[in-house]
Structure 1
Amino acid sequence: MKEHKSDNRIRKPNSVQTEPFHVEHINAKGKVVHSRQSKKEKKPWTFKRVFLRIILPILLVLTIIIGGIIIWLLQWENHVLDQIEYIPTDTNPTFINESSSLVEISQYTSETIIPPVEDEDVHNFLLIGIDSRSRKYTDDGTGSLADVIMVMSVDNQEGSIKLVTIQRDCYVYIPGHSKPQKINAAMSYGGPELLSIVIENHLRIDLEGYAYVNFYNMEKVIDAVDGIDLEVTKSEVFHEPGGLNANLAEQNRILGVPEDTYKVTSSGMIHLNGRQAVAYSRIREVGNGVYGRSERQVKVLNALLKKFSDMSTTSKMSVMDDIASMIATNISKKDIKHYAFDFLPKVRNMEIQQMGIPVDGYFRSGMYSDVRANEWSIRPDWNGMIPLVQEFLYGETSAFDPVEEIPKAPRNGNGES
C-alpha cells in the first residue's frame, strides 16, 4: 500500500482565478484538511470608515432624539404661554378724572425733560396684586384697588431679580386729579395703564409692561406648588384683629365657607396652603404695620420661588401650566420668550433682592385732614428716594426731573417739612 505524502505546501491560486481558493494543512490525526479563504483581504478600519459606519449613524439617531425633545419642549412652552391672558396694548387708554369723566390718559401726560436712566441689561415690569372684592372690578383690573404694588427688575448682566415694593397708602399725584391721594386708587381710576404711568412719574423709571394676579388666584398659585414653609410668630397667627387666623376667617366668610376652615393652630416653622399664605401676607396689625406686610409678601414670594426651584422638571411643567392661567399681562408672548431666553441662562442667584418704598427717613405717616378728613396716609419724599431707587436698580445715580412735592412730606430725607 502506497503511503500518502504531503509537504504541507500552500497551493497558490492562478492570477486569473476568481473563485475562492483552498488552503490544505494536516490536522493532528494526519488527515488533510481543506479550508476556503476569500481572495480579497479585509480593508483596515480607517477614521473615515469608522465615522461613516458607526459614528454618523449614532449622531443621526441622537439628532432625531434631541430634535424631538426640543420640538416637544417648544410645544409645551407654547402651551404654557397660551394659558396666559394677553391684554391688547391700548394705544390710547382712558381713565376717570376727578370730574368722573372718561378721558384719554394722553391728555394729561408729557415727556420728561431729563430722560430716565437707560440700561440695556435692566428690564423693569409692574407686578400688581388686585383686590377684586370691589363691585366695580373688571377683567382688566379697572375699578379694583391695587393691594400689592411691586416693580420687578431683572438684570441680565448680574443675573439677578430685584423687587421694589410700594406701600399702597403712599400719596401720589394721579393725572386728572388736582389733589394727591393714595397710589392704589390709580388702579381703580384707570387700571394698570394709569398705575404704570403714576409709578413712572414718581420713581423716574421706565416700565416695559405689567402683569397682575387676583389675590384669590395667588391662593391657587401657592397650592399649585403644594404650599410653602414659613417661620410664623405666635402673634402673627393669633393676633386679633388682623392676624393670620383673623384674615383667614374674613376670607372664608367671603367665600361662603366656615370661618375656621384651614385655621392655624401652631406657630414656628409651619406649612401653609395657599389661602393661609395669602392671609399671612396680608397681616398689617402685627409688628411694623404696612412695612411688615411688605416684608411678609416678599417672604411668601421667596418661599414660593424656592419651592418651585426644588421641584422636578415634570412637576415644574405642571405648575407652570397652572400659574400661567392665573396671569394677565400686556407683554406679548414673543416678548416673554425674548426676556426669558435672554435672562434665564444668566441667573446666578434666585434669591429676590428687595427694597421697600417709602424708605425710612424719607416719609411721614399718620392721620391728616389737609386733603381728606381724618385719613391715614403715607407722605413720601419722592425726590429724596429717586436716587436710592436708581442706585438699587442700576448701581448708579443720575439727574432727573423733580417730582411735585407731597404736602406734609419731609424734604431730602431730613424729616423736615
Structure 2
Amino acid sequence: MSRKAKNKSANIVKKILIMLPIILIIVGAGAYLYTHNLLSKVNKKEISQKNSDLGIKKVALEKSKDDIINIALFGIDVRQKNDPTHSDCIMVLTIDEKHKDIKLSSVMRDTFVEVKGHDKTKITHAYAYGGPELALWTLNNNFDLDIKKYATVDFFSLEKIIDILGGVEIDIKQNEIKYINKFMGETSEILHDSVPTLTHSGVQVLNGRQAVSYARIRSTAGGDYERTLRQRAVLNAIIDKVKAKNKMEYPSLISKFLPLVETNLDSNEIMSIGKDVLISNIKTVKQARFPLDSNSDGKMIKGTWYLVTDIEETKNSLHDFIYNDIEPKGNHNEERKQ
C-alpha cells in the first residue's frame, strides 16, 4: 500500500473514531427520549411519602432491605361512576433480587384491622375511606411494612390489559362457569356490548372479561379464600404471558398498559425496577395468602362478618415470606372444601 493510501485509511479511521462518541450520544439520546415518551403515559397520582402519613414505623424501616422492593397492588371494584372504591383485591408485589423471585402476597379483604379515623374494620374499606394513601397506611401500620409505592387497576382496565395480551390461560372448574357468565352479563349490560360466554370447564384461554369475571368469584365453597387464589392465578397468568412475549414487543405493550394503571411510581422508578428484574434474571413467582388459616377465624361482630386474626402471628408469617423467602405452611394456596 502506498504512503498516500495509508494516510487516507488512517484519516478515515480517525474520522470514525471522532464521530463514534457523537453517534453513540445521538442514539442514546434518541433511546432515552423514546423511553421517556413511553413512560410519560403513566397515569400518575401523587400521595404523601412521609412515613407518618403512610403508617411506616421504625421497626418496619429496620427490617427493610435494599434488595427487596415492595409495591402494593389494589384491584378496585368500580362499575358505576359514583361507586365506592373498595379494594376487593389487595396484594403486596415483592421483587426479591437476593432470592431471584417475585412474590405475590394476597391480603384477605375482610381482615379485621385498624383503619386510621375509622377504628377497626375490614381492610377493604380503607381504600374507599381514603384512597391509596390510607390503604397504604393500613397495610403498613397493621403489618409493620414500609410500602410507599402502589399501583391500582379497576375491573374495566384489567379487562383491557388482558385483551391487549391476547387473553390468559386459566383452568376453569365446572362450578365456576355459571358465575363467570353471570358477572360477564352484568359487565356487558354496563358497557352495552357482549363477549362469548363459557360453555365448558378445563384449561382454556380467557379473554379480558372472562378472566376478570373469574377473578371476582367468591360464591363457591371456599368463598373469599378461593377468590384470592383466582386473583393470583390471573395475575400470575398475566406475568407468564408478558414473559413469553418477544422483548421487542415490550415498548408497544408498555405504551398501552401505562394509561390503564394508576400509580405513584414515576418514569425513572419504573425504568429502574424493570432494569433490576432483567439484570437479576428473576423467573420464579411465589404466592401466599394472609392471614393463614392457623391464626385467623371468621367472627360476627355487631352483625357483620369479619376475618379476625392474630396480628403478631400474621406479621411474622408475612415477614418470613417477603424478607426471608420462607413460604408458609398450610392450605393458603389450595382449594377449601367446606
TM class by shorter chain equals 0.7 to 0.9
**Of the candidates 303, 307, 316, which is equivalent to residue 250 of structure 2?**
316
Q: Please state if 1:380 is matched with 2:300.
A: no
Give the number of the structure whose alpha-carbon radius of gyration is greater.
1
Residue 151 (str. 1) matches residue 86 (str. 2): no
- The alignment partner of 2:70 has SS state of strand
Partners of 1:109 and 1:175 within 8 A in 2: no
Number of residue pairs matched by the alignment: 326
The one of 268, 275, 279 aligned to 1:345: 279
Question: Counterpart of 2:315 in 1: which secondary structure?
Answer: helix
Range with greater deviation from structure 2 (381-390 or 330-339): 330-339
Task: Select the residue among 208, 212, 215 that pairs with 2:155.
Answer: 215
CA distance in 2, matches of 1:65, 1:248: 53
1:373-403 CA distance string (max 9 Å, x none): 1x22211222112111111111189xxxxxx
Q: Is the 8 A contact 2:56 2:137 kept in 1?
A: no
For 1:65 and 1:229, how far apart are their aligned partners in 2? 44
The offset of 1:364, in angstroms, is 0.4
Alignment of 1:223-234 (within 5 A): 223-234=163-174
Q: 2:297 maps to which residue?
A: 364
Higher deviation after alignment, 207-216 or 304-313: 304-313
Which structure: greater helix fraction?
Answer: 2
d(CA) in 1 for partners of 2:20 and 2:305?
Answer: 66
Equivalent in 20, 41, 48 of residue 90 of structure 1 = 48
Note the C-alpha offset of 1:218. Answer: 0.4
Which residue in 2 is equivalent to 1:182? 122
Cα offset, 1:54, TM superposition:
7.5
Indicate how the Cα distance of structure 1 residues 333 and 233 shifts in structure 2: closer, same or farther if over 3 A, else same: same
CA RMSD of aligned residues (A): 3.1
| Separation in 2, partners of 1:169, 1:51 | 76
Residue 256 of structure 1 and its aligned partner are, at CA, apart by 3.2
1:255 and 2:200 aligned: no
1:123-176 deviation digits (Å, cap 9, x = unpaired): 111111111236545xxxxx4111111111112223321111111111111112
Distance 1:83 1:304 in 2: 21
**How far 1:281 sits from its partner (Å)?**
1.1
Whole-Å separation in 1 of the counterparts to 2:101 and 2:167: 25
Q: In percent, how many aligned pairs have the same letter? A: 27
- Distance between the aligned counterparts of 1:170 and 1:64, measured in 2? 58
Deviation at 1:92, TM superposition (A): 8.1
Superposed, which structure 2 residues align to 1:93-108 within 5 Å? none
Q: Deviations over 1:64-111 (max 9, x none)?
A: 776555434322311221111111233689xxxxxxxxxxx85x9684
8 Å CA contact 2:171–2:204 kept in 1: the answer is yes
2-structure distance, mates of 1:281, 1:393: 24
* Structure 1 residue 395 corresponds to structure 2 residue 324: yes
**Which residue number corresponds to residue 17 of structure 1?**
none
Q: State the alpha-carbon separation in 1 of the partners of residues 14 and 247 from structure 2.
A: 31
Of 302, 326, 332, the match for 2:260: 326
- Correspondent of 1:290 among 217, 220, 224: 224
Between the aligned partners of 1:51 and 1:342, the Cα distance in structure 2 is 43
Contact 2:72 2:92 in 1 (8 A): yes
Aligned to 2:330: none
Amino acid at match of 2:77: D
Q: For residues 273 and 292 of structure 1, do their structure 2 counterparts lie closer, same or farther at Cα, with a shift above 3 Å needed?
A: same
Q: Select the residue among 50, 69, 72 that pairs with 1:126.
A: 72
Distance 1:170 1:50 in 2: 78
Question: Structure 1 CA distance, aligned partners of 2:19 and 2:171?
Answer: 51
Structure-1 residue corresponding to 2:145? 205
SS in 2 for 1:78: helix
Cα distance in 2, alignment partners of residues 56 and 348 from structure 1: 43
Change in 2 beyond 3 A, CA 1:109/1:218: closer
For residues 379 and 213 of structure 1, do their structure 2 counterparts lie closer, same or farther at Cα, with a shift above 3 Å needed? same
Give the direction of change, closer, same or farther, for the CA distance of 1:276–1:201 in structure 2 (3 Å limit): same
Further displaced range: 113-122 or 296-305: 113-122
Letter in 1 for 2:45: I
8 A contact 2:60–2:145 mirrored in 1: no
Unaligned segments of structure 2, at least 5 residues: 327-338
Please point out which of 117, 132, 146 is paired with 1:192.
Answer: 132
Q: Per the alignment, in what secondary structure is the counterpart of residue 76 of structure 2?
A: strand
The 5 A counterparts of 1:270-281 are: 270-281=204-215
SS in 1 for 2:229: helix
* d(CA) in 1 for partners of 2:63, 2:99: 17
Distance 1:131 1:81, change over 3 A: same
